Amino acid sequence: MGFALNEIWEMAQMVTYGEMAGHAWTSTLGRCTAAAAGDVGIILGIYAVSALAAGDPGWGLRGRWHIYATAALLGLVSAALVEHAALAAGSWSYMDSMPMVPWLRAGLWPLLQMTLLPPLTFWIARWWAGRNPIERSL
């Protein structure tokens, strides 16, 4: 589910990046798919680091507010770091249509993406595990 959410987000925000603005969605699909795969890697990293810190492999499936808040905060920090590195390296650039978060010096859409989608992914996984009898038995 995390991949699908990130793929949709990447495709929706592509018009705010200089390298993709004005191109048909079909010509940006490959780059957005690669970005969504990277986003999933970040989400898995957030889960792994948090589960190790908590000493609980099922950490993200507990459904407590602090779990979602931790995922959101780590997602925001990860997004800010990725955006700064990519902008500095010239990997991408923003169009004027990208709203900026001045105190983070990064685009609003990628920051929101990694702030909202990791906790949402954890919530969906928790919901799915709760309704799936195979997962409950593990």
Tens of pLDDT along the chain (138 residues)?
889 999 999 999 999 998 887 888 888 899 999 999 999 999 999 999 999 988 999 888 887 888 899 999 999 999 999 999 999 999 999 999 999 999 999 999 999 999 999 999 999 998 888 765 555 445
Question: Which residues span the domain enclosing 41?
Answer: 2-137
DSSP E strand stretches across 27-109:
100-101, 106-107
| Rounded Cα distance, 75 and 117, in Å | 8
**Closest C-alpha among 27, 43, 25, 17 to residue 97:** 17
- Give the number of domains in the chain: 1
For position 48, what pLDDT does the model report?
94
Whole-model pTM?
Answer: 0.87
